[in-house]
Amino acid sequence: MDRARPDVLLMQETKLKDADAPVAVFRDLGYELAHHGEGRWNGVAIASRVGLKDVVRNFGDPLRPAETPEAGDDEPFAEARMIAATCGGGPGGGAGGVRVVSIYAPNGRSVGSRFY
């Protein structure tokens, strides 16, 4: 972060609950952090030093339980895999900016599996 100093950083597979996201660490580096995570797997985040607005998690749908608890990831909306935000824009969060989307896509495993 110190070397590259990106304006916006998109992260996947954070494996953190939202309450455990390192908001203060990013703030100390000059970034605002938006995080969407469930704790054990997955997790996505956006860090921006040009501001964050209009944050949307999980395509706007709430997380819902997996239909097969033994597998845990048969239901796409049961996983924290998507976060979007507008970064930058005019003073006071005015018009403009760039819309970014951080998606952690499943690997699909093998053809024919329910995860594929």
pLDDT tens for each residue of 18-57: 999 999 999 999 999 999 998 888 899 999 999 999 999 9
- Measured from the Cβ of residue 54, the count of other Cβ atoms closer than 10 Å reads 12
Average pLDDT, the chain: 84
Q: Tell me the sheet residues that pair with 19.
A: none
Say whether pLDDT at 92 is over 60: no
What one-character DSSP code corresponds to residue 17? Answer: B
pLDDT in the model for residue 25: 97
| Whole-number Å distance between alpha carbons of 17 and 71 | 20
Helices (DSSP H) in 1-116: which residue ranges?
A: 23-28
| Whole-number Å distance between alpha carbons of 79 and 67 | 12
| Whole-number Å distance between alpha carbons of 85 and 37 | 15
CATH for 8-103 is: 3.60.10.10
Task: State the pTM of this model.
Answer: 0.80
Q: How far apart are the first and last CA of the chain?
A: 35
Going across the sheet that includes 52-57, the strands are 52-57, 82-87, 98-103
Say whether pLDDT at 96 is over 90: no
